Amino acid sequence: MSSPVLSVRGLTTEFVTPAGVVRAVNDVSWDLFPGETLGVVGESGSGKSVTAMSILGLIQSPPGRITAGEILFEGRDLLTMPDKELRRLRGSEIGMIFQDPMTSLNPVLTVGAQISEALRLHDKKMSKNAARTRAIELLTMVGVPNPEGRVDQYPHEHSGGMRQRAMIAMAIANDPKVLIADEPTTALDVTIQAQVLDVLKTAKERTNAATILITHDLGLIAEHADRVVVMYGGKVVEVADVFSIFAAPRHPYTLGLMSSLPRLDVDLARLDPIPGAPPNLIDLPPGCSFHPRCRVSKGRERCRTEVPPLYDTGDGARAACHFTEEVPAEMAVVYREMGARLGSGGA
């Protein structure tokens, strides 16, 4: 395997709040390889977005602070890099697409001006006219109809889907090596979601950028990701390729996510939601933070006292569970309970 384009190593990001210190990202490590799409899944508050913000150095300080770890982009640590160099990478080598296109575009600048800005910030010699022409090209590429007219319009004259296309155009304007898409379709209508994802896919193929797709939508992961990182309570609990994650999850939390998801390939009588609520990050349960909700733990002492490391589960996959070898058997039990008749459903 080639060397990773982006490596997160032991990243820990905290927020100081009146109620206490929130460790939103806790010793997170993963690699992103050239050309791949890495899916990052987890519930709200699991640390997905904070990880992305940490990569770009966009954690507001105070209250936020990165207390440990390194983020290596092509071997250079983004966390210790001077601001000026980091700014040169942002928007050129690393592009970012945010969740809510309604609020992520500047309302007083035309869409074209905002795309041109992304271009001209990183190519000081580019003329205004050249940037405008390129902005029109980019809008065409992301499927904005009538790009010559649209380029001079303001964001409030565009629909949500159109704005997210413009955001994508902005993010890929400088052919980034890494593209971070943070819940890119969550704020959009279901019908628009599919279109925008297609655009994202095309954009990714054109630029061949390694993509980090942050989402809580397992359907998106199944369709678009090559490998998956599952986060829970600020920690990575499982890393595996997308087929293994869906076919044979090795962490009870991942199993819980799968069995709470309606599926087309398995005919289910009912779903099996994960009991309880996501943990309070100020006051995480001791040991494995998932143990109060875990169906594999069965109240065992070790789950309550010992924080599980990421165990190697073979084929480059890892899972943070003391009893990861019991998960496949548990999966069979869960699916039997849910009344699955494997193979009797759709494709």
Beta bridge partners of 227: 38, 241
- Nearest in space to 226 (alpha carbons), one of 245, 239, 241: 241
Cβ distance to other proteins smaller for residue 132 or 235: 132
Q: How far, in Å, CA of 141 to CA of 175, rounded? A: 13
* Stretch of residues binding other proteins (CB under 8 A), selected from 91-99, 211-219, 256-264, 281-289: 91-99
The only residue of 25, 38, 96, 303 in contact with other proteins, by rule CB under 8 A: 96
The only residue of 27, 79, 123, 154 in contact with other proteins, by rule CB under 8 A: 154
The yes or no reply on residue 25 touching other proteins (CB under 8 A) is: no
As measured in angstroms, the least distance from the Cβ of 150 to other proteins is: 14
The yes or no reply on residue 74 touching other proteins (CB under 8 A) is: no
The yes or no reply on residue 125 touching other proteins (CB under 8 A) is: no
Cβ distance to other proteins smaller for residue 95 or 147: 95
Q: How far, in Å, CA of 296 to CA of 252, rounded? A: 6
The only residue of 28, 170, 255, 258 in contact with other proteins, by rule CB under 8 A: 170
- Is-cis flag, bond preceding 309, omega within 30? no
Strand pairing class (266-267; 341-342): antiparallel
Tell which positions 317-346 bind other proteins, by CB under 8 A: none
Cβ distance to other proteins smaller for residue 112 or 233: 112
- Cβ–Cβ < 8 Å for 247, 264: no
- Cβ–Cβ < 8 Å for 186, 128: no
The only residue of 15, 42, 54, 90 in contact with other proteins, by rule CB under 8 A: 90
The yes or no reply on residue 107 touching other proteins (CB under 8 A) is: yes
The only residue of 91, 184, 234, 287 in contact with other proteins, by rule CB under 8 A: 91
Q: How far, in Å, CA of 171 to CA of 331, rounded? A: 40
The only residue of 65, 122, 201, 216 in contact with other proteins, by rule CB under 8 A: 122
If DSSP codes are grouped into helix, strand and coil, which group holds residue 62? coil
Under rule CB under 8 A, how many of the chain's residues touch other proteins? Answer: 26
As measured in angstroms, the least distance from the Cβ of 306 to other proteins is: 38
Q: How far, in Å, CA of 195 to CA of 283, rounded? A: 41
φ and ψ at residue 25, rounded to 5 degrees? -130, 125
* Stretch of residues binding other proteins (CB under 8 A), selected from 13-21, 83-91, 298-306, 327-335: 83-91
* Stretch of residues binding other proteins (CB under 8 A), selected from 74-82, 106-114, 213-221, 314-322: 106-114
If DSSP codes are grouped into helix, strand and coil, which group holds residue 273? coil
Q: How far, in Å, CA of 338 to CA of 295, rounded? A: 14
214 conformational bin, left if phi > 0, alpha if psi -120 to 50, beta if neither: beta
Q: Which residues would be at the binding site for other proteins (CB under 8 A)? A: 56, 58, 87-92, 96, 98, 100, 103-109, 117-118, 121-122, 154, 156, 167, 170
